[in-house]
């Protein structure tokens, strides 16, 4: 049965802060350029000074931000400075019936009130935002610094209104609650102008069918599972009060790790149990680099300061929800090698722009980049009209590491790096938050950069081939060991990053292994020094959707995460919501990424039961999200009104 949808879900474009990060730390002078044998250069016409392009398409704001790869020099934080909080409950499940509180939300400075814009599906007239005022509930002291304490909370209806419509799933186990607004001075002399710094507050969600992990406790402050370690460090994060947003005690945490676990990891990823409020999704800090030819990143070894005997290459921090993101994880890992080339010099003196351009790749063609200064990995530049113009296109999944990254890893030779077009106007998408609307024209002329230019500027790559990578995951808590549910959650997602398939997100970002073209495996299992190694084999790819994930209905069985073309799937179950008692039609919408063709099938609700079958055709192949809608009669017309249940992604229809 096909039923015309009268009211659809309105897409809300959430604008996060595009913040200028602190300046990068001083990096020692790069080695002198080495002269390498030139690589054959293809012949092309010269780049014209100007170029006709299609009329620009209206752009839209979407979220995205990442910090520089190199640690900035420490500086006193600008007050007021939001610090961290306790999400209560720590993980939100689909069957959670209560509300939400952000307990002990700490802000450095004397702050009586905070302004928060909570997302709200019901606030249609106010751009889907409800402006709230948080009032201080007390003060405390950390190392002589005055800390204002807030304890905002919301009931179950407000929580559902904020996050119940947002996409979630194993590929996106989080949702944005809203945005915290912190007033700042504009910095202009005598202007008196006040600007606002915006911090996204995102919530950790857990699917219902995360497998339980086996856990071993070593002592009162240390426990581990097969793929995650938990350390208790009561002062973890206090360094932000005397440093800056990057001033967490990662060196101390690494030394604690090596007390009980093997020094065999190239990187350690740290996740604080208390989400930190910072202007970045993750950061990567190189502590050892054995590779020459990477530009401003020299050959050096500081691993001893972290307790490693020359094995550790880097540490990473994932402050809130970003560890579970394929894009954030691969972006952070890629900063081991990129991007420290002097692209301004390589491209004839172009002015760099975007996020931390000294450590991110400029706007260029061809190929997508994970650590882009201008575009994130979901977008890339496409050639149209035989090279007469360039536009933004959606990156077709699975998104791959750029050839320049794979060259710097040692996976391909210089001859396999294509000639690049680097666009002169690097700032043209500053307001687009790194994902401009598909079809937007890329304006301006470009400069050619050949691998020979790179070799002449920075010398050849010299060093070990990074054809395997290993990363330990450490969750650090200030207030005691993690619960079994939390350990299982972080253990699952640490293991999921090591998957060789089946984890590509709805928007096309695969596992690290697949991003390397299936060449570089990522190890994330934990090796204790003096205790038994835990081995678990839970499936992390193509994990089905649990029957209770769609709040308001209970399905008869799990929804498969991998469906073959020609296969029939029936979405059947019972309506369980008590919101209304007159629902009469249930609909299932299968929405493939990047396609205007959605599948919208409906069936009557009889009693409280419904059954919606669909057979997938070849045209349906792709990565899907599934959303369920419950219709009820509209007394004012012969049509109906609809209540949407949150869409869940992570479903692949395979040819």
Domain harbouring 607, CATH code:
2.60.40.10
In the predicted structure, residue 639 carries a pLDDT above the cut 90? no
Q: Residues 328, 329, 331, 336: is their CA dihedral positive or negative?
A: positive
Does residue 631 lie in a domain region?
yes
User: Where are the strands (E) in 276-401, listed by range?
Assistant: 283-286, 288-289, 300-301, 314-317, 364-365, 379-384, 389-394
Does residue 445 lie in a domain region?
yes
Does residue 241 lie in a domain region?
no
Does residue 63 lie in a domain region?
no
d(C-alpha 27, C-alpha 292), whole Å: 14
Judged on CB neighbours under 10 Å (0-12, 13-18, 19+), 529 is exposed
Instruction: Give me the pLDDT at residue 174, please.
Output: 98
pLDDT tens for residues 595-633? 888 999 999 999 999 999 999 999 999 999 999 999 999
Instruction: Give me the pLDDT at residue 356, please.
Output: 92
Range name among 32-41, 233-242, 401-410, 616-625 with the lowest pLDDT average:
32-41
- CB-CB contact of 57 with 439 (8 Å): yes
pLDDT tens for residues 151-189? 999 999 999 999 999 999 999 999 999 999 999 876 555
Does residue 381 lie in a domain region?
yes
Overall average pLDDT of the 538-564 stretch:
96
Domain boundary at 401, 429, 458, which?
458
Does residue 163 lie in a domain region?
no
pLDDT tens for residues 331-390? 999 999 999 999 999 999 999 999 999 999 999 999 999 999 999 999 999 999 888 899
Does residue 354 lie in a domain region?
yes
Domain boundary at 458, 478, 511, which?
458
Does residue 41 lie in a domain region?
no
Domain boundary at 396, 430, 458, which?
458
**By residue range, what is the domain housing residue 592?**
553-654
The tally of domains found in the chain comes to 2
Instruction: Give me the pLDDT at residue 640, please.
Output: 73
d(C-alpha 644, C-alpha 8), whole Å: 8
């Amino acid at each position: 049965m096909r039923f015309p949808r009268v009211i659809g879900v309105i897409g809300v474009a959430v604008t996060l802060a595009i913040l200028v990060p602190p300046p990068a730390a001083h990096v020692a002078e790069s080695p002198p350029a080495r002269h390498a044998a030139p690589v054959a250069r293809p012949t092309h016409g010269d780049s014209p000074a100007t170029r006709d392009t299609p009329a620009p398409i209206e752009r839209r704001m979407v979220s995205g931000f990442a910090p520089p790869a190199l640690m900035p020099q420490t500086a006193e934080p600008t007050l007021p400075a939001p610090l961290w909080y306790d999400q209560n409950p720590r993980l939100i499940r689909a069957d959670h019936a209560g509300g939400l509180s952000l307990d002990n939300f700490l802000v450095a400075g004397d702050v009586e009130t905070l302004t928060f814009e909570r997302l709200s599906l019901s606030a249609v007239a106010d751009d889907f935002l409800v402006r709230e005022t948080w009032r201080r509930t007390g003060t405390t002291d950390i190392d002589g610094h005055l800390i204002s304490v807030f304890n905002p909370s919301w009931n179950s209806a407000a929580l559902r209104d904020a996050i119940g419509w947002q996409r979630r799933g194993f590929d996106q186990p989080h949702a944005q609650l809203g945005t915290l607004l912190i007033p700042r001075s504009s910095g202009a002399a005598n202007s008196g102008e006040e600007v606002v710094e915006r911090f996204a507050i995102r919530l950790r969600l857990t699917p219902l069918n995360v497998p339980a992990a086996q856990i071993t406790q070593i002592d009162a402050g240390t426990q581990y599972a097969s793929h995650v370690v938990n350390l208790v460090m009561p002062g973890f994060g206090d360094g932000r009060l005397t440093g800056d947003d990057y001033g967490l005690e990662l060196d101390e945490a690494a030394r604690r790790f090596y007390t009980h676990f093997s020094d065999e990891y190239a990187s350690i990823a740290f996740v604080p149990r208390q989400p930190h409020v910072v202007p970045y999704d993750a950061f990567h800090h190189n502590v050892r680099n054995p590779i020459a030819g990477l530009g401003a990143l020299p050959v050096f070894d500081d691993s001893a300061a972290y307790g490693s005997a020359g094995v550790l290459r880097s540490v990473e921090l994932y402050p809130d929800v970003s560890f579970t993101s394929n894009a954030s994880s691969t972006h952070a890992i890629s900063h081991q090698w990129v991007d420290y080339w002097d692209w301004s010099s390589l491209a004839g003196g172009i002015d760099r722009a975007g996020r931390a351009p000294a450590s991110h790749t400029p706007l260029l063609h061809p190929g997508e980049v994970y650590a882009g200064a201008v575009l994130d990995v979901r977008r890339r530049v496409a050639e149209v009209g035989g090279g007469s113009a360039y536009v933004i296109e959606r990156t077709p999944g699975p998104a791959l590491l750029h050839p320049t990254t794979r060259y710097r890893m040692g996976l391909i030779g210089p001859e396999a790096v294509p000639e690049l077009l680097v666009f002169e106007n690097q700032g043209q998408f500053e307001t687009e938050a790194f994902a401009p609307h598909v079809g937007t024209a890329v304006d301006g002329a470009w400069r050619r950069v050949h691998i020979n230019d790179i070799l002449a500027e920075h010398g050849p790559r010299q060093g070990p081939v990074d054809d395997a990578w290993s990363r330990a995951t450490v969750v650090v808590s200030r207030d005691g060991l993690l619960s079994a549910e939390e350990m299982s959650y972080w253990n699952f997602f640490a293991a999921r990053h090591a998957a060789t398939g089946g984890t590509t997100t709805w928007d096309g970002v695969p596992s690290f292994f697949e991003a390397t073209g299936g060449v570089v495996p990522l190890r994330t299992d934990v090796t204790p020094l003096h205790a038994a190694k835990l081995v678990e084999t839970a499936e992390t790819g193509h994990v089905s959707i649990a029957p209770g994930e769609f709040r308001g209905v209970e399905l008869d069985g799990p929804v498969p995460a991998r469906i073959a073309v020609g296969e029939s799937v029936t979405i059947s179950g019972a309506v369980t919501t008590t919101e209304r008692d007159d629902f009469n039609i249930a609909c299932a919408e299968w929405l493939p990424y990047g396609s205007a063709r959605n599948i919208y099938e409906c069936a009557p609700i009889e009693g409280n039961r419904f059954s919606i079958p669909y057979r997938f055709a070849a045209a349906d192949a792709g990565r899907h999200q599934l959303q369920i809608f419950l219709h009820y009669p509209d007394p004012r017309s012969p049509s109906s009104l609809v209540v949407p249940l949150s869409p869940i992604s992570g479903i692949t229809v395979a040819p």
